[in-house]
Chain A
Amino acid sequence: DQQVKQNSPSLSVQEGRISILNCDYTNSMFDYFLWYKKYPAEGPTFLISISSIKDKNEDGRFTVFLNKSAKHLSLHIVPSQPGDSAVYFCAARSYGGSQGNLIFGKGTKLSVKP
């Protein structure tokens, strides 16, 4: 059973508007969440993270929100740019686990149209 779910395989947004990528999780032991971005023919690159003791983390145009009661996190990109077009992976870590316990979602492909 999937512990980290990204239910939208794809998302299309107009340049300058907000992109919202969603991620749900089922394991209440997850205590740290990360977002990675992946361009075609490249490896994923780290984008932003959030600890379970916080409900928001912001880095420039990127903000991650965490709703622990709903077991839901979202990545907001404002304003969206064509260079943001990529696959975004949500990942989660179990409390007390090593990095070997990092669980990835299936990814959401974001397309930002000029």
Chain B
Amino acid sequence: NAGVTQTPKFRVLKTGQSMTLLCAQDMNHEYMYWYRQDPGMGLRLIHYSVGEGTTAKGEVPDGYNVSRLKKQNFLLGLESAAPSQTSVYFCASSYSGGGSVLTFGAGSRLTVL
């Protein structure tokens, strides 16, 4: 049982480049989330989805886009990467909202030079 899988685990980008982080879950969860973790900042919600075909903005959505074309996948895109987007990104999923326990992936470390 893989749970939540994130790819890639590490990536280095130059300013202005684009990339997509992929999150896949095999638990048939309805809700999926993208967080970023920065030193001294805790976990901040970027975007989330309450079901296939839906997305919503979180606390820090600027500079990111997301898509949920399939229930099991949630993609996070950076169209024009900036050094401020250097961070560790975590994907999570939950069976429902309203306090359901989140299952997190192992994280993707992104460095933008």
Q: How many A-B residue pairs have CB under 8 A?
A: 68
Among B25-81, those with CB < 8 Å from A are: 31, 33, 35, 40-45, 48, 50, 56, 58
- Beta-carbon contact of B42 and A93 below 8 Å: no
- Whether A99 is near chain B, meaning CB under 8 Å from some CB there, is yes
- Beta-carbon contact of B42 and A99 below 8 Å: no
Q: Could you say which residues of chain A place their CB within 8 Å of the CB of B101?
A: 34, 46, 49
Measured in the bound complex, the distance between the Cα atoms of B4 and A107 in whole Å is 22
Measured in the bound complex, the distance between the Cα atoms of B102 and A49 in whole Å is 12
In this complex, what residue of B is CB-closest to A32? B99
Q: Which 5 A-B pairs have the closest CB atoms?
A: A43-B104, A98-B97, A99-B97, A106-B42, A104-B43
Q: A93-B98, A104-B35 are in contact. List 12 more A-B contacts (CB 8 A).
A: A9-B40, A41-B107, A43-B4, A44-B43, A44-B102, A49-B99, A49-B101, A89-B43, A99-B94, A99-B97, A100-B58, A106-B42
